[in-house]
């Protein structure tokens, strides 16, 4: 089914999104054998007879096998009553402590949770790069990190990033308006990750894209019947799309290069968008027949 879209139509070549060098600093953690306080508080808590409160305890490091607080060791209090305490979870980095005053009012002056902490033992660097992409586009590093991933997971994440972003993937932003039943059906039925074909004559664009984002808007617009003075509601969707895998030819057309000249070399779609590669007259390097590439 062929549908029309309205301006604005945004197109980005995808150069800024290239990632060909990925590295993560991964914390390697080792659980301790001994029980030590993983969280503590010296805040004063006053409880009336039968009153129950919940205290959120968040440790600086993950912990395992946490113990219920013990009076006199983990709970320091005064008053005619006593304290009954329990925790909601025994492993993780946080837990909820339920504290109840039994037999009378109490004043708690210290509260702690003991467990087996899992601190950072050492930090390792996991790295991976796409040498072909680095040679073509220069080194483009990944700005993010991979929290809570071990070394194997971090390496898998790096491979996924390189597989997806080592070559540029153009992005498109376009708007579909519910001008008829077919357009409205597409607006309502399209979801994230759907693959669609986008054609744009002026850009010479005819390729498959995946939908990465959808923004729905219902706006008031003047009615076509100007005599009524009424407004009509128009539903439109703004789609953010990313092109599927871009095929980059290994033999861009180049003068005076064996196997890359006439009948052999092909027009390079990346050169048309890369100001550092396209042929430019009177340029010190890109103006040379052996270096500058023809752009489409």
pLDDT digit string (tens) for 63-103? Answer: 999 999 999 999 999 999 999 999 999 999 999 999 999 99
- The answer to whether 140 and 166 are in contact (CB under 8 A) is no
- What's the pLDDT at 46? 96
* H or E element in which residue 68 lies: none
Domain count of the fold of the chain? 4
**In a shared domain, residues 24 and 158:** yes
How far from 227 is each of 223, 224, 231, 256, CA to CA, in Å? 9, 9, 11, 69
One domain, residues 100 and 213: no
- Residue 135 and residue 98 in one domain: no
Question: What CATH number does residue 236 fall under?
Answer: 2.40.30
Per-residue pLDDT band for 34 (boundaries 50, 70, 90) equals: very high
Name residue, tokens 């390697």. Answer: 28
Is there a contact between 173 and 137 (Cβ–Cβ < 8 Å)?
no
Q: Cα–Cα distance between 244 and 112 in angstroms, integer?
A: 53
Q: Does residue 294 surpass a pLDDT of 80? A: no
User: Region 13-24: what's the mean pLDDT?
Assistant: 88
Q: Identify the weakest region by mean pLDDT among 148-157, 187-196, 252-261, 269-278.
A: 269-278
Task: Give the pLDDT score at 7.
Answer: 73
Q: Say yes or no: 181 and 243 in one domain.
A: yes
Domain span at residue 80 reads 36-117
Residue with tokens 């504290």: 99
Give residue-wise pLDDT tens across range 109-157: 999 999 999 999 999 999 999 998 898 888 999 888 888 888 999 999 9
Which residues on adjacent β-strands are paired with residue 267?
none
Inform me whether the pLDDT recorded for 275 exceeds 70. no
Same domain, 104 and 176: no
Please state the rounded mean pLDDT for residues 18-29. 92
Q: Is residue 223 pLDDT above 70, yes or no? A: no
Residues 109 and 129 in one domain: no
Mean pLDDT (the chain, rounded): 83
Q: What pLDDT is recorded for position 269?
A: 46
Whether residue 102 is found in the same domain as residue 62: yes
User: What is the per-residue pLDDT for 270?
Assistant: 42
122: three-class secondary structure by DSSP: strand
271 pLDDT tier (thresholds 50, 70, 90): very low
pLDDT at residue 267 tops 80: no
10 and 83 share a domain? Answer: no
Same domain, 44 and 57: yes
Q: Which range among 127-131, 132-136, 177-181, 261-265 shows the weakest confidence by mean pLDDT?
A: 261-265
CA–CA separation, 98 vs 56, rounded Å?
9
> Are 23 and 147 in a shared domain?
yes
Half-sphere exposure for 74 (CA within 13 Å, toward CB): 22
pLDDT at 272 over 50: no
Average pLDDT over residues 2-10: 73
Same domain, 232 and 266: no
Q: Give pLDDT, residue 94.
A: 96
Same domain, 187 and 215: yes
Calculate the alpha carbon distances from 210 to 111, 198, 214, 239 in Å. Answer: 53, 10, 11, 10
């Amino acid at each position: 089914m062929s549908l029309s879209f309205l301006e604005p139509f945004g197109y980005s070549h995808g150069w800024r999104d290239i990632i060909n060098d990925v590295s993560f600093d991964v914390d390697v953690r080792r659980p301790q054998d001994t029980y030590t306080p993983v969280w503590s508080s010296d805040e004063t808590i006053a409880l009336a007879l039968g009153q129950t409160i919940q205290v959120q305890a968040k440790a600086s490091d993950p912990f395992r096998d946490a113990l219920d607080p013990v009076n006199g060791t983990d709970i320091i209090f005064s008053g005619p009553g006593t304290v009954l305490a329990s925790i909601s979870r025994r492993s993780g980095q946080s837990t909820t402590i339920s504290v109840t005053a039994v037999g009378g009012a109490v004043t708690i002056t210290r509260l702690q949770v003991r467990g087996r902490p899992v601190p950072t033992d050492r930090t390792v660097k996991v790295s991976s790069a796409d040498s072909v992409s680095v040679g073509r586009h220069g080194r483009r590093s990944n700005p993010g990190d991979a929290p809570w991933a071990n070394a194997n997971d971090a390496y898998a994440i790096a491979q996924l990033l390189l597989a997806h972003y080592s070559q540029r993937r153009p992005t498109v932003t376009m708007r579909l308006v519910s001008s008829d039943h077919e357009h409205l059906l597409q607006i309502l039925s399209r979801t994230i990750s759907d693959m669609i074909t986008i054609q744009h004559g002026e850009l010479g664009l005819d390729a498959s894209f995946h939908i990465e984002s959808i923004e729905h808007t219902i706006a008031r617009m003047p009615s076509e019947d100007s005599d009524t003075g009424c407004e009509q509601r128009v539903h439109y969707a703004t789609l953010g799309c990313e092109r599927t895998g871009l095929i980059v030819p290994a033999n861009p057309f180049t003068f005076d290069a064996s196997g890359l000249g006439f009948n052999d070399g092909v027009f390079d779609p990346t050169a048309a968008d890369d100001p550092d590669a396209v042929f430019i007259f009177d340029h010190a390097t890109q103006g040379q027949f052996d270096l500058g590439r023809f752009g489409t």
